[in-house]
Amino acid sequence: MLRTHTCGELRPDHIGQTVTLCGWVQRTRDKGSIAWIDLRDRYGLTQIALEEGVEADSLREQLRHLGREFVLSVTGVVQERYSKNDKMPTGAIEIRPTSLEILNPAKLPPFLIEDDTDGGDDLRLKYRYLDLRRTPVRNNLMLRHKLAQAVRRYLDGQEFIEVETPVLIKSTPEGARDFVVPSRMNPGEFYALPQSPQTFKQLLMVSGFDRYFQIVKCFRDEDLRADRQPEFTQIDCEMSFVTQEDILNMFEGLVRYLFKEIKDLDFPEVPRMTYAEAMHRFGNDKPDVRFAMEFVELNDLAKGHGFPVFDNAPWVAGINAITSAAYTRKQIDELMEWVKRPQIGATGLVYARVEADGVVKSSVDKFYPQEELQKWKTAFNANPGDLLLLLAGDENKTRKALSELRLEMGRRLGLCDKNSFAPLWVVDFPLLEFGEEENRYFAMHHPFTSPKPEDLALLDSPETIGQVRANAYDLVINGVEIGGGSIRIHDRAVQARMFSLLGFTDEEAQAQFGFLLDAFEYGAPPHGGLALGFDRLCSLFGGSDSIRDFIAFPKNNSGRDVMIDSPSPISDAQLKELSIATTVGGK
């Protein structure tokens, strides 16, 4: 090897040894009588010191030609530092060089390779290989690596087998939009990249693998957000001969193991909440339960007092933004504007403060005498200093808006501490959801999810079909959906019925999913599983909202890789070979 040690390794124990380090020049400083080079590699930083009259003048001359990010090999003797830096692991020693060799010079990087950089997002993505030299970014990828190893350890310990499934598969009409790949050998035909290995892992269960997992790339051609990338990674799992309870316990075990291994945190148990309860208490199927601020429904108290907004609204409810009574008029006006933003969609906001003496002052005093407002106070379990925030309107829309307001107040009140973690299983999701635009039902999870056996009869009538619950569950941590899964259908007839409910003719179902329906006739075991979003899990453990920070080479918000400049046009010759009509953009 070109080096004897790394730049993070040397300690006082090494004093007196001759060593060779290789790395990048973080910076050089020349104070006349003494000059320094900070040499960096993945493992850390080591100081090289050149003292006038001690180290050779020729070395000093060499130092003058070094720039940031030059790749250097340094041989020298480890020596105790005059002034130690106890913030650096190598801060008690330095190297007195006997030779310096430039392994490769470097152009001045387009942004500072420091923890706090001056580079904007686009520039850092274009030069991602330089951004990855920065400690915080590298640490994110180290965290990802550690999590991946811990996931493998746990699942391997539970007899899960890691199996790779194909990346070139078949486009299906359900779910998100597919990325497709033209097939040269089959003109006019296309593969699709998997949105998940769902059907393959189910087939592995039919094959008898019993417990499968894969840390796997999935592809969805959807509009991007901070927590979405066109290609992302899932921890994909499936088990045979299990109930929902077994799956929840197995993966609760995984979550507990990860928190213990990576963060040294103990979780007694992951609480469970039904979808219906989550919607009722928090207006959200992925509630952030780090804080309470639960919905209080106020139809009974609010209606019939002559306040038209409440009287005319189908649903009135609010939250108690505890300790916020000191909000100024200006702050409340600003909050009012906030709830009216199109993304939130409320038409207005009614507030009531509980003053120090317990008197409630509200924006609708005119309609509600103190005696009524005191009833509100009781309903909200409010104390002096609290601020009640009320919304009214169509129930579904208002629940959504109130949920957003609750999260916003949670953030403003500092209740969303990045270092506290509140996991939750949300269970009993509806099987189907109605698409108004398409005028048909869609599978809420996916078409392979099993209805709850006790709700099967509800499938028979159009009136009750929307009430059918599924054996489907999501893992939510701090209001982020970390993953989800279900017990699957393993019976051909039930699966065929499901396809028909989703609007497939028998022929279409056979053409799209015939392989699965057929497989169910060859001894399919009862099975179920889930997939956890690995990028999201990493960002959650890393205390960041952006999954991009935890992906080595991510795409930007337009789905572009600006480093390799992709997507990009392909030549007419390539298009022709793929039997795709040439385009104006082709080269």
Query: Which chain residues interact with ligand ASP by CB under 6 A?
Result: 196, 198, 446, 484-486, 529-531
Which of 97/533 has CB closer to ligand ASP? 533
Which of 194/479 has CB closer to ligand ASP? 194
CB-based burial, 161-188: b 16+ in 10 Å, e otherwise:
eebebeeebbbbeeeeebbbebeeeeee
Q: Which of 200, 161, 201, 194 is nearest to 179 (CA)?
A: 194
Minimum distance, C-beta of residue 279 to ligand ASP, in the bound complex (Å) = 20
Give CA 365 to chain center in angstroms: 44
The label of the residue with tokens 């979808």 reads 275
- Provide φ and ψ at 205, rounded to 5°: -70, -40
Minimum distance, C-beta of residue 539 to ligand ASP, in the bound complex (Å) = 18
Q: Which helix (H) or strand (E) holds 510?
A: helix 506-519
Element counts in the chain: helices (H) and strands (E): 16, 22
Which of 237/382 has CB closer to ligand ASP? 237
In DSSP terms, 212 is beta-bridged to 161, 238
Which of 69/236 has CB closer to ligand ASP? 236
Q: With contact defined as beta carbons under 8 Å apart, do 25 and 38 qualify?
A: yes
Minimum distance, C-beta of residue 574 to ligand ASP, in the bound complex (Å) = 32
Work out the number of other CB atoms within 10 angstroms of the CB of residue 569.
Answer: 12
Q: With contact defined as beta carbons under 8 Å apart, do 335 and 349 qualify?
A: yes
Which of 354/532 has CB closer to ligand ASP? 532
Minimum distance, C-beta of residue 121 to ligand ASP, in the bound complex (Å) = 28
Which of 39/489 has CB closer to ligand ASP? 489
Give the chain's length. 587
Minimum distance, C-beta of residue 447 to ligand ASP, in the bound complex (Å) = 11
Q: With contact defined as beta carbons under 8 Å apart, do 22 and 103 qualify?
A: yes
Work out the number of other CB atoms within 10 angstroms of the CB of residue 156.
Answer: 12
Q: Which helix (H) or strand (E) holds 280?
A: helix 275-282
Which of 5/201 has CB closer to ligand ASP? 201
Minimum distance, C-beta of residue 379 to ligand ASP, in the bound complex (Å) = 39
> What type of residue is 142?
M
Minimum distance, C-beta of residue 175 to ligand ASP, in the bound complex (Å) = 8
Minimum distance, C-beta of residue 533 to ligand ASP, in the bound complex (Å) = 9
383: Cβ contacts below 8 Å, ≥ 6 apart: 322, 354
Q: How far is CA 162 from CA 109, 216, 512, in A?
A: 41, 10, 26
Which of 176/573 has CB closer to ligand ASP? 176
Q: What is the dihedral of CA 395, 397, 399, 403, to 10 degrees?
A: -170
Minimum distance, C-beta of residue 485 to ligand ASP, in the bound complex (Å) = 4
Minimum distance, C-beta of residue 178 to ligand ASP, in the bound complex (Å) = 13
Which of 283/484 has CB closer to ligand ASP? 484
Which of 477/531 has CB closer to ligand ASP? 531
CB-neighbour burial class of residue 405 (10 A; exposed 0-12, middle 13-18, buried 19+): buried
What is the C-alpha separation between 368 and 301, in angstroms, rounded? 10
Minimum distance, C-beta of residue 308 to ligand ASP, in the bound complex (Å) = 44
What is the C-alpha separation between 405 and 248, in angstroms, rounded? 30
Which of 94/238 has CB closer to ligand ASP? 238
Minimum distance, C-beta of residue 174 to ligand ASP, in the bound complex (Å) = 11
| Residue facing ligand ASP at closest CB distance | 196
For the chain, the first-to-last Cα distance in angstroms comes to 46
Q: Which of 490, 496, 497, 442 is nearest to 466 (CA)?
A: 442
Minimum distance, C-beta of residue 466 to ligand ASP, in the bound complex (Å) = 21
Whether a cis peptide bond, with omega within 30° of 0, leads into 423 is no
Which of 318/533 has CB closer to ligand ASP? 533
Q: With contact defined as beta carbons under 8 Å apart, do 457 and 434 qualify?
A: no
Q: Which helix (H) or strand (E) holds 301?
A: helix 299-302
Minimum distance, C-beta of residue 69 to ligand ASP, in the bound complex (Å) = 41
What is the C-alpha separation between 97 and 20, in angstroms, rounded? 9
Which of 196/362 has CB closer to ligand ASP? 196
Q: With contact defined as beta carbons under 8 Å apart, do 447 and 498 qualify?
A: yes
Which of 393/484 has CB closer to ligand ASP? 484
Half-sphere exposure (CA, 13 Å, Cβ side) for 268? 2
Q: With contact defined as beta carbons under 8 Å apart, do 321 and 309 qualify?
A: no
Minimum distance, C-beta of residue 290 to ligand ASP, in the bound complex (Å) = 24
Which of 482/501 has CB closer to ligand ASP? 482
Q: With contact defined as beta carbons under 8 Å apart, do 400 and 391 qualify?
A: no
